[in-house]
Structure 1
Amino acid sequence: MKPYPLEAPLGQRYTKGNPTNEDHMADVRPFHGVRYNTDRINDLSLVICPPYDVISPSDQEALYKRHPNNVVRLELGQTSPNDSDDDNQYTRAATMFQQWQQDGALVREGQPAYYLVEETFQWNGKPEARFSLWSAVRLEPFDQGMVLPHEHTRPGPKADRLRLLQAAGANFSPVMGLYHDRVGDLSAILKQAAAKAPSATGSATDGLSYRTWVIDDPAITASITNAFADHLLYLADGHHRYETALHYRDVDGPQDAEASRSFAMIALISMDDPGLKLEPYHRVLANLNPQEEAAIDKALAGLPSKGQVNIAGLSAEDAAAKVMAPLRQSEGMTIAVVRGDESLVDLLSLDDGQAAADFEALDSCDPWVLQQNVLEPTLGTKLPGLIDYTHDPAEAISQARQGVIQRAILLRPMPLDIFEDVVRRGHRLPPKSTFFWPKLPTGLVINDLT
């Protein structure tokens, strides 16, 4: 069976042998960030926005109306029927970026700095916080084993991000990167920085609040840089932007190793931070013909049963909570199958006891096993046109009840240690295998590469 058509087969390593380079770790540095002038704009909630790839047209319109300097105008500008090669969303973003700096809405940091960002949010009814360190990280091809990816990319989003990068010469939003801080040296430094008053605060419409500290003391920035010299970095979100930055670095030929475009803005988060949440993307199937629908049901019927959950009479939200509870508690690979408006949801095991030596940690990875053992063998090359993804289980259940989709397959969250093991071994996961939350905001800090 040929794998799902991507840039490389699922499970294929991006290096031969050990994918990590233990002798040469990440090059992490402070940078001259560009930030909103809080003397001019003291409410950052008016000017920040979510990541570009989760902004709907209605969200974009609302962000445009929120403030004339909202960063969505730079990160995801509106198009016009009269757009041309010389006047389009990318060239307008470049012009506005320069104009906002000239007008004083944006100001450049006087000396290189790290930016510590705290995000506070509600999780299961309780307040939580997560810290990220916005840094300039040297761009390295994945086969060097210092910055490790976990998913494949598509050419369309990369072409879009490249046009913006070439026009504006700036990272408006950060890539999300992860690292381990087992010794605790970095957390001690950052905790000391967070004990001071923040440089800026803000909030977003999704209930998140932000505090930002500027760390520009040369002794402290040097200690942070030195501490990261012993760490590998794992890409969590922003693969398209990272690969685009690599292309942008090399598009005009080899660059000076110290040139700004040799680095990308990455928000680094400790895997040991309790505020780091890794949630699943659920699979929804639609447009199945009768034969395909029967084939999927037959494949699912062959999986061992782990019981059923009755969701009769429950709202989609309550039904989702009831179904997700046993999935979250499951120690083995488990899925829940929702069929139309049926009251009973099947809990099925993906564990078949047959480990494939070639794929090691992937055999403990629910999305990969589901795709490899059920979806691909059953639907083959038609799969991309029949599958979609949502991180909201209530949405999946609601769509099934309304007949918008034919089957919803809910997954448990991937344990972070399995994610790390898979990535360290050089494997890439199927599309939409991870949903790291909260999503990082755009606009708190900008990295000017010119």
Structure 2
Amino acid sequence: MAIIRPFNGLRPKVALAAQVAARPYDVLSAAEAKQEAAGNPYSYYHVSKSEIDLPDDIDTHSQQVYDQAAANLRKFVQDGTLFQEDQPAYYIYKLVMNGRAQTGLVCVSAVADYNNGIIKKHEFTRPDKELDRINHIKTTLAQTGNVFLAYNDVPEVNALIEQWQEQHAPIYDFTASDGISHTVWVVNTPTAVQEITTLFAEKVPATYIADGHHRAASASLVQKELQENGKITSVDNPANYFLTTIFPASQLAIMDYNRVVKDLNGLSKEAFLSNLDYFFNVEEIGHLPQQPTMLHEFTMYLEGRWYRLVAEEGTYTTDPIGVLDVTILSNNILSKYLGIQDQRTDKRIDFIGGIRGLQELVKRVDSGEWKVAFALYPVTIQQLFDIADSGNVMPPKSTWFEPKLRDGLITHLI
């Protein structure tokens, strides 16, 4: 069963919460973060993407960057921008985007649960990305990025969280520049804290990583290193846990994660379209972008025209991986005709989160830098759970969750 704990969160004073809050470090470039943080000395990008305070040509994985992050975090604490909770607490974090709300519990989850498979994964991690977060955690002595977890709804947990929101005022309540609202409550009464801890221990057999595989993996590796070096002497050591926000599955929505490819691998447009007929029902649908409307349906943009591709029966299997649209696309188009065998490393393919819309696909292809774009129907949360339960992993860049948790609102010190 899931082991979660309250913790002494490091968080901004109320008047500065909106200025501190920053998008996750891995969804934007250093240049974009620098632009967003311009004129805002309180932005958490100074911690999560501290290269913005260094010369533009700095190696973003150099120790100087991590040292700068640690210095900036210390400064925020020293000048009172951030303060640490005086007693362990849970936090309720509600996000509203385009009228849709999702409410999660901010806590620390046990590294042991991650290592033992109670916290389930659905993606491979890359060693270079792990090392970046390892160095960031070890230098700052903080987990500054949140791991987004999901779980199958437990009515008692949902009811408790709803009741707390109704009976208590939030500590933060603001709308960010992108229109997403962020509201946070602190749960610090001993009775409520114990009830939450017990409910998860008794009612939640597993949690699932929705977003943040590298953050989770790095927390585990840091804990292992500290333990091997004799620096963890108690089961209550903060490094035995990592920062998570856990959402009930019923409230979550996964967005599409689309692809663009640089060329047709030597094929003419006519030959490429002819090949697609073997595995798809292909229909030209005009100049206007159209989203896929169901599983196993794709839309494709090529030379100014949109096409609808519907996978024929027999082109995919019914196992948790084979039934995924990302697998169908990979097996029947990307690898078979476009020569893309490893999407994680091939520079001829790029991935576009659905939050950017189909116009981003049009923009990329019309620029001439990319030849063809594919729009996919989103993976469902149940598909994610099924794959994680089976012990398999999804193909790269299969899921895109929105809205994103903001960094800086709650940090876990180790």
TM-score by length of 2: 0.89
Which moved further from structure 2: 44-53 or 382-391? 382-391
Of 386, 399, 404, which residue of structure 2 is paired with 1:439?
Answer: 404
- Which runs of structure 1 show a deviation greater than 6 angstroms over 4 or more consecutive aligned residues? 82-87, 292-295
- Residue equivalent to 1:245: 219
Shift of 1:114: 0.7
Of 342, 347, 352, which residue of structure 2 is paired with 1:390?
Answer: 352
- Residue equivalent to 2:109: 137
1:363 and 2:341 matched: no
- Residue equivalent to 1:70: 43
1:333 and 2:307 matched: no
Shift of 1:34: 0.6
Give, in whole Å, the separation in 1 of the partners of 2:244 and 2:309: 38
Shift of 1:99: 2.6
Shift of 1:243: 0.5
Which moved further from structure 2: 25-34 or 254-263? 254-263
1:46–1:66 Cα contact (<8 Å) kept: no
Of 193, 197, 209, which residue of structure 2 is paired with 1:221?
Answer: 193
Give, in whole Å, the separation in 2 of the partners of 1:218 and 1:35: 20
1:364–1:418 Cα contact (<8 Å) kept: no
1:260 and 2:238 matched: yes
Partner deviation per Cα, 1:367-415 (whole Å, 9 max, x = no partner)? 1222133322331547512111102322112222332311111101112
Give, in whole Å, the separation in 1 of the partners of 2:58 and 2:395: 38
1:120–1:130 Cα contact (<8 Å) kept: yes
Of 123, 142, 147, which residue of structure 2 is paired with 1:170?
Answer: 142
1:185 and 2:147 matched: no
Shift of 1:202: 2.4
Shift of 1:174: 0.6
Q: Secondary structure at the match of 1:67?
A: coil
The residue correspondences of 1:10-409 to structure 2 (distance < 5 A) are 25-38=1-14, 42-78=15-51, 79-80=54-55, 88-122=64-98, 127-140=99-112, 144-181=116-153, 183-195=154-166, 196-229=168-201, 230-231=203-204, 232-254=206-228, 255=232, 256-273=234-251, 276-291=252-267, 297-305=273-281, 307-311=283-287, 319-320=288-289, 323-324=290-291, 327-328=292-293, 330=294, 332-342=295-305, 345-353=306-314, 356=317, 360-378=319-337, 379-381=339-341, 384-391=346-353, 392-409=357-374
Q: Secondary structure at the match of 1:364?
A: coil
Q: Are the structure 2 counterparts of residues 285 and 82 from structure 1 closer, same or farther at C-alpha, using a change threshold of 3 Å?
A: closer
- Residue equivalent to 1:4: none
Aligned residue identity for 1:139: V
Aligned residue identity for 1:75: S
Aligned residue identity for 1:403: G
Which moved further from structure 2: 100-109 or 398-407? 398-407
- Residue equivalent to 1:3: none
Q: Are the structure 2 counterparts of residues 218 and 306 from structure 1 closer, same or farther at C-alpha, using a change threshold of 3 Å?
A: farther
Identical positions, percent: 25
Shift of 1:346: 2.1
- Residue equivalent to 1:421: 386
Q: Secondary structure at the match of 1:162?
A: helix
Give, in whole Å, the separation in 2 of the partners of 1:82 and 1:143: 34
1:283–1:389 Cα contact (<8 Å) kept: yes
Partner deviation per Cα, 1:217-250 (whole Å, 9 max, x = no partner)? 1111111111112321100111111101111001
Aligned residue identity for 2:296: M
Give, in whole Å, the separation in 1 of the partners of 2:342 and 2:83: 50
Partner deviation per Cα, 1:292-312 (whole Å, 9 max, x = no partner)? 97775454232231644222x
Q: CA RMSD in A?
A: 2.4
Aligned residue identity for 1:225: T
Give, in whole Å, the separation in 1 of the partners of 2:27 and 2:58: 25
Q: Are the structure 2 counterparts of residues 108 and 142 from structure 1 closer, same or farther at C-alpha, using a change threshold of 3 Å?
A: closer
Shift of 1:87: 6.9
TM-score by length of 1: 0.82
Give, in whole Å, the separation in 1 of the partners of 2:412 and 2:121: 22
Q: Are the structure 2 counterparts of residues 354 and 290 from structure 1 closer, same or farther at C-alpha, using a change threshold of 3 Å?
A: closer
Partner deviation per Cα, 1:73-130 (whole Å, 9 max, x = no partner)? 11110233688999712112112222322222211111111111111221xxxx2211
- Residue equivalent to 1:20: none
1:75–1:93 Cα contact (<8 Å) kept: yes
Give, in whole Å, the separation in 1 of the partners of 2:391 and 2:258: 24
Q: Secondary structure at the match of 1:371?
A: helix
Give, in whole Å, the separation in 2 of the partners of 1:52 and 1:141: 25
Which moved further from structure 2: 95-104 or 112-121? 95-104
Q: Are the structure 2 counterparts of residues 429 and 84 from structure 1 closer, same or farther at C-alpha, using a change threshold of 3 Å?
A: closer
**Between Structure 1 and Structure 2, how many residues are aligned?**
398
Give, in whole Å, the separation in 1 of the partners of 2:275 and 2:159: 51
2:279–2:332 Cα contact (<8 Å) kept: no
